[in-house]
Amino acid sequence: MTDEAVIHVVDDDQAAREGLAFLLSALGLDVRCHAGGAELLAVLDPDRPGCILADLRMPGMSGLELLDALRDLDCPLPVIMITGHGDVPAAVRAMQQGALDFLEKPVNGMALVNRVTEAIAISRDTAAARRMRAALDDRLASLTAREAEVARAVLAGRLNKQIAADLGISQKTVEIHRHNLMDKMGAGSAAELVRRLVAAGWGQD
């Protein structure tokens, strides 16, 4: 998977999308143009960092409907909405649906570049966080049922002697499970183990 950011420009107006593509390509960015939301969704790689510039009013799938579709796909790419028609209610709805910003045509070049740069940074951070979470989920999935019980007890602050009594096993057995647990979780200390479990959402129920 390439880490190079890609900017998707979605606009049914060919001149508009070519103008945006020209501006952003001049910055050395990889820009892909799409005449509509369906065209974008057919080729979109949500795991590749970047962002989406989408026109609000398009035939077929509108910009807001595209936002809905991206949300249904759990797509992490930031979306910047663009419109040639000042429409406050639509802008509010777009932001409520998760759009990063709402720009009016003709788009100010510097403002666009700044927002795209910000969107790419957000996208890279999000992608890194998703990769870390996936790796953490893989580690958790490797735990045996008993190791998971010990992990929850450690998270609750229980000592080995207490865990042994709680689970009806010897303290030596607890130490073995705890050693395996630390190894599988890649934790060098109890504090690090707890941080990783909390990051995975454990202890929040």
Residue 72, pLDDT > 80, answer: yes
Q: Cα separation of 34 and 60, whole Å?
A: 13
CA distances (Å), 11 to each of 52, 132, 175, 181, in order? 11, 34, 61, 51
Q: Domain locations in the chain?
A: 6-133, 143-200
Residue 205, pLDDT > 70, answer: no
Q: Cα separation of 76 and 81, whole Å?
A: 15
The whole-number average pLDDT for the span 142-158 is 93
Residue 204, pLDDT > 70, answer: no
Evaluate whether the domain defined by 143-200 bears CATH number 1.10.10.10: yes
Q: Which of 46, 51, 76, 79 is nearest to 65 (CA)?
A: 79
Q: Cα separation of 199 and 185, whole Å?
A: 12
112 contact partners, CB below 8 Å, separation of at least 6? 20, 23, 24, 53, 80, 103
The whole-number average pLDDT for the span 113-136 is 91
Give the number of other CB atoms < 10 A from CB of residue 134: 9
Q: Determine the pLDDT at residue 1.
A: 55
13 contact partners, CB below 8 Å, separation of at least 6? 55
Residue 84, pLDDT > 90, answer: no
Q: Determine the pLDDT at residue 2.
A: 65
Please give the order of strands across the beta sheet that includes 30-34.
Answer: 30-34, 6-10, 50-55, 79-83, 101-104
CA distances (Å), 120 to each of 106, 117, 157, in order? 22, 5, 40
Residue 96, pLDDT > 90, answer: no
The whole-number average pLDDT for the span 193-201 is 86
Fold of 6-133: Rossmann fold (3.40.50)
Give the number of other CB atoms < 10 A from CB of residue 14: 10
How does residue 93 score in pLDDT terms, banded at 50, 70 and 90? confident
Residue 52, pLDDT > 90, answer: yes
What is the DSSP code string of 109-167? HHHHHHHHHHHHHHHHHHHHHHHHHHHHHHHHHTS-HHHHHHHHHHHTT--HHHHHHHH
